[in-house]
């Protein structure tokens, strides 16, 4: 980390208002513990955050208040620090675990790959002991038994200062893409199960001052699973505060479920620390504050009343920052592959109007076309038709995770832009009139969330109605671009006042199309992660011609032995080495 991490912004910061019980939330960190090198706004690292938590706890305790720390999962996939080890997360988990959490749980990114789940279960779960919980995710252990993915399905504890009794639960959304060690019971089912209802019954008869649900699911009103859960919890705890913490959709959000129930979600990628305070838990009118703290030293110092970094940093925080530098060197994260001539934006530039700054257009025109067929495994059928056919290479935009910044493009940036190690498959000899329909069909269809199911979500639904509302921030011209959140409490949640970032619609899938003549049959190449979705679209495109659909599907095969060597991140590196020197 360069020493210039302390950003000097002119913006006035909104203060946090400490209450009887206070929370700091992280979610969807995806291994970004080194901080954002290209964005000063989010340039603090995990060591700085550790100092912040310690300093803020001191402040809360001085005011006779509690501080609890929660993490809602998705700690893997999205940064070289996490994804350059095998299994991914070896070093990033070590760094993450330097911080004590009061309640912690899993996200879907701890569950795709078996080795990642094993690492998580065997190291992170024991590290946090009773604080690591999961109510609806189970792990198949080496004895062949399904056990909670965590120490237990709940945690019941008493806070240090106010001696509040907290009953904590944790839920993952209805995720169907887990590996063979994972079993997820959807919320809609678990709320009918005897064992779960008995647990609620048991604790409704114990002293409980607060029910805390630390989950990996969005908090927006249109996410129905939360509503289903809330109705059941309210039956058992009619007059107790129920506080939800959510994640997964990577936004800042706060919703009000009823007069004693609220939900906070704190963004992604170590851009945001969520803050929540609650006071007068036993009254009908709860006093509360929520803030979305930008992940930088200026915010951290401001909220802990420090004026110098030297005074603010704790020994532990500095040690963790040093460890991060050492790991970064060991993994060679700053090895450069070239210099990007300008920035490319995922949602910040308009894909539909062919904006040259659109990352997705750049991928279609220059990156996907770099893919080469390569047959290495003896038992793999050669792709016979590729030489003469046209070719489409199709990916889900969910596999592209972040903007690509002007300047140094290095080993870390490669994983930041696209970390997944998916394999390529090919449908051969697809008639051109059928092939051209695949992308539009998928883009009209539901958002691709998981490999295993045709899913239900519309991309725009990832934003709550409040997020979608037009944001009329004040004095926009003098401010810097950044997050501008509108939630159930209004538009004063961001600790730093920003000018809203441009945000354009992102399609579900993008594709390159290489052809000599548009009538030629097409080889459609795509990530195995979206196989079910592509076959669904192919079926639609074939219409009544079932024979054609079946003969195409029969020839479905791997395109190459691609593994990491040819994933989209590697193609980007290949392009940078050739064109950005």
Ligand X SMILES: O=c1ccn([C@@H]2O[C@H](COP(=O)(O)O)[C@@H](O)[C@H]2O)c(=O)[nH]1
The residues that touch ligand X, with contacts defined as CB under 6 A, are 28, 74, 108-109, 112, 248, 250, 396, 398-399, 420, 422, 448-449, 529
Tokens 């206070």, residue?
A: 22
- Residue that is written with structure tokens 């980007």 in the block: 572
What's the CA gap between 210 and 85, in Å, rounded?
A: 39
Closest approach, Cβ 449 to Zn ion, in A, equals 9
CB of 213 to ligand X, least distance (A): 18
Distance in Å, CB of 250 to ligand X, minimum:
6
Q: Which entry of Zn ion, ligand X, none binds 392, CB below 5 to 8 A by partner kind?
A: none
- Strand pairing report for 103-104 and 137-140: unpaired
- Which tokens is 354 given? 């062919």
Rounded distance, CA 506 to CA 350, Å?
8
Report which secondary-structure segment, H or E, holds 52. Answer: helix 46-62
Comparing CB distances to ligand X, the nearer of 264 and 449 is: 449
Alpha carbons within 13 A on the beta-carbon side of 349: 19
* CB nearer ligand X, residue 242 or residue 393: 393
- Written as six digits, the tokens of 475 are 């004095």
Q: Taking the complex as a whole, how short is the minimal distance between the CB of residue 71 and Zn ion, in angstroms?
A: 12
Nearest to 21 by CA among 165, 134, 131, 130: 165
State which residue, 74 or 487, has the beta carbon closest to Zn ion: 74
Our CB check for ligand X shows the closer of 250 and 498 to be: 250
- Among ligand X, Zn ion, none, the one that 351 touches (CB under a kind-dependent 5 to 8 A) is none
Could you give the CA distance from residue 137 to residue 117 in angstroms, rounded to a whole number?
12
In the block, residue with structure tokens 């006042």? 497
Nearer to ligand X, 301 or 346 (CB): 346
- Binders of Zn ion among residues 77 to 106 (CB under 5 A) are none
> If contact means CB under 5 to 8 A according to the sort of partner, which of ligand X, Zn ion, none does residue 511 touch?
none
Nearest approach in angstroms of CB 23 to ligand X is: 22
3-state secondary structure of 45: coil
- Output 67 or 442, the one with its CB closest to ligand X: 442
Question: Contacting Zn ion (CB under 5 A), which of 31, 35, 107, 373?
Answer: 107
Compute the least distance from the CB of residue 398 to ligand X, in Å. Answer: 2
Rounded CA separation 351/358 (Å): 6
Nearest 5°: the CA angle 555, 559, 562 is 150
How many CB atoms lie under 10 A from the CB of residue 198? 10
Among ligand X, Zn ion, none, residue 171 binds (CB under 5-8 Å by kind): none
Closer Cβ to Zn ion, 107 or 373, answer by number: 107
Q: What track of x and - describes contact with Zn ion for positions 27 through 66 (by CB under 5 A)?
A: -x--------------------------------------
Report the candidate in 450, 439, 437, 446 with the shortest Cα–Cα distance to residue 368: 439
Beta carbon of residue 266, minimum distance to ligand X (angstroms, whole number)? 14
79 binds, among ligand X, Zn ion, none (CB under 5 to 8 A by kind): none
CB of 454 to ligand X, least distance (A): 13
Q: Which of Zn ion, ligand X, none has residue 399 at its interface (CB below 5 to 8 Å by kind)?
A: ligand X
Instruction: Work out what residue 93 binds among ligand X, Zn ion, none; the CB cut-off runs from 5 to 8 Å by kind.
Output: none
Given candidates 14, 36, 155, 248, which one binds Zn ion under the rule CB under 5 A? 248
Structure tokens at 418: 């696209």
Minimum distance from residue 389 beta carbon to Zn ion (Å)? 37
Round to whole Å and give the CA distance between 571 and 550: 32
Binding mask of the shown chain, residues 63 to 82, with x at each position contacting Zn ion by CB under 5 A: -----------x--------
Q: How far is the CB of 375 from Zn ion (least distance, A)?
A: 34
Query: Could you tell which of ligand X, Zn ion, none binds residue 85, using a CB distance below 5 to 8 A set by kind?
Result: none
Binding-site partner at residue 71 among Zn ion, ligand X, none, CB < 5 to 8 Å by type: none
**Six-digit token string for 536:** 């669904």
Q: Which does 420 bind (CB under 5 to 8 A by kind): Zn ion, ligand X, none?
A: ligand X
334's CB contacts (< 8 A; 6+ apart) are 328, 408, 410, 411, 412
- Residue closer to Zn ion by CB (options 105, 159) is 105
Shortest distance in whole angstroms from residue 15 CB to ligand X: 31
488 binds Zn ion (CB under 5 A): no
Residue 448, contacted partner among Zn ion, ligand X, none, CB below 5-8 A by kind: ligand X
Of 520, 340, 509, 500, residue with least CA distance to 416: 340
Are residues 29 and 96 in contact, defined by beta-carbon separation less than 8 angstroms? yes
CA atoms within 13 A on the CB side of 161: 16
Give the nearer residue to ligand X in terms of CB position, either 460 or 551.
460
CA distances to 194, 247, 281, 419, 536 from 507, in Å: 42, 22, 44, 19, 17
User: Which residue number, 268 or 498, has a Cβ lying nearer to Zn ion?
Assistant: 268
End-to-end CA distance of the chain, in Å? 23
Instruction: For residue 166, give Cα distances in angstroms to 158, 208, 212, 261, 420.
Output: 6, 6, 7, 14, 38
Nearer to Zn ion, 105 or 410 (CB): 105
Q: What is the closest distance, in whole angstroms, from the C-beta atom of residue 281 to ligand X in the complex?
A: 32
* Closest to ligand X by CB, 241 or 367: 367
CA dihedral 218, 351, 397, 374 (to 10 degrees): -170
The 3-state DSSP class for residue 164 equals coil
| 108 lines the binding site for Zn ion (CB under 5 A) | yes
Q: What is the contact surface with Zn ion in residues (CB under 5 A)?
A: 28, 74, 107-108, 248
């Amino acid at each position: 980390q360069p020493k210039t991490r302390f950003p000097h912004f002119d913006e006035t910061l909104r203060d946090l208002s400490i209450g009887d019980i206070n929370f700091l939330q992280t979610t969807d960190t995806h291994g970004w513990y080194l901080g954002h090198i290209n964005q000063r706004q989010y340039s603090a690292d995990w060591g700085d955050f550790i100092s912040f938590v310690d300093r803020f706890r001191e402040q809360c305790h001085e005011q006779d208040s509690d501080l609890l720390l929660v993490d809602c999962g998705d700690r893997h996939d999205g940064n070289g620090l996490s994804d350059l080890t095998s299994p991914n997360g070896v070093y990033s988990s070590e760094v993450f675990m330097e911080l004590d959490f009061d309640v912690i749980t899993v996200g879907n990114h701890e569950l795709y790959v078996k080795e990642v789940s094993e690492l998580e279960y065997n190291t992170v779960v024991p590290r946090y002991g009773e604080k690591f919980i999961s109510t609806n995710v189970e792990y198949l252990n080496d004895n062949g038994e399904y056990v909670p993915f965590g120490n237990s399905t709940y945690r019941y504890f008493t806070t240090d200062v106010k001696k509040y009794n907290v009953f904590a639960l944790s839920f993952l959304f209805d995720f169907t893409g887990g590996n063979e060690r994972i079993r997820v019971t959807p919320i809609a089912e678990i709320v009918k199960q005897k064992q779960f209802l008995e647990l609620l019954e048991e604790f409704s008869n114990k002293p409980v001052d607060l029910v805390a649900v630390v989950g990996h699911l969005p908090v927006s009103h249109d996410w129905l699973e939360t509503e289903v859960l809330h109705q059941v919890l309210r039956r058992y705890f009619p007059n107790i505060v129920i506080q939800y913490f959510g994640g997964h959709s990577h936004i800042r959000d706060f919703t009000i479920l009823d007069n004693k129930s609220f939900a906070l979600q704190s963004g992604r990628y170590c851009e945001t620390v969520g803050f929540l305070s609650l006071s007068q838990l036993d009254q009908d009118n709860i006093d509360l504050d929520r803030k979305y703290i930008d992940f930088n030293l200026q915010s951290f110092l401001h909220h802990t009343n420090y004026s110098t970094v030297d005074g603010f940093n704790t020994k532990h925080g500095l040690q963790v920052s040093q460890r991060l530098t050492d790991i970064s060197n060991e993994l060679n994260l700053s090895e450069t592959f070239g210099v990007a001539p300008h920035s490319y934006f995922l949602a910040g530039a308009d894909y539909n109007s062919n904006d040259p700054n659109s990352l997705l257009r750049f991928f279609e025109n220059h990156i996907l076309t770099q893919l080469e067929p390569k047959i290495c495994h003896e038992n793999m059928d050669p792709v016979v038709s590729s030489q003469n056919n046209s070719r489409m290479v199709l990916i889900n935009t969910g596999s592209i995770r972040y903007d690509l910044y002007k300047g140094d493009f290095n080993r870390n940036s490669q994983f930041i832009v696209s970390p997944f190690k998916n394999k390529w498959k090919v449908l051969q000899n697809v008639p051109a009139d059928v092939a051209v329909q695949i992308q539009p069909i998928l883009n009209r269809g539901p958002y691709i969330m998981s490999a295993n199911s045709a899913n239900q979500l519309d991309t725009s639904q990832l934003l709550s109605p409040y997020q979608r509302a037009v944001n009329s921030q004040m004095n926009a011209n003098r401010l810097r671009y950044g997050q501008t959140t509108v939630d159930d409490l209004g538009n004063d949640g961001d600790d730093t006042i920003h000018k809203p970032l441009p945000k354009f619609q992102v399609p579900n899938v993008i594709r390159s199309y290489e052809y000599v003549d548009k009538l030629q049959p097409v080889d459609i190449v795509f990530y195995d992660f979206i196989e079910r979705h592509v076959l669904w679209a192919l079926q639609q495109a074939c219409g009544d011609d079932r024979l054609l659909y079946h003969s195409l599907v029969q020839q479905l095969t791997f395109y190459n032995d691609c593994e990491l060597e040819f994933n989209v991140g590697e193609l980007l590196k290949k392009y940078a080495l050739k064109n950005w020197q």
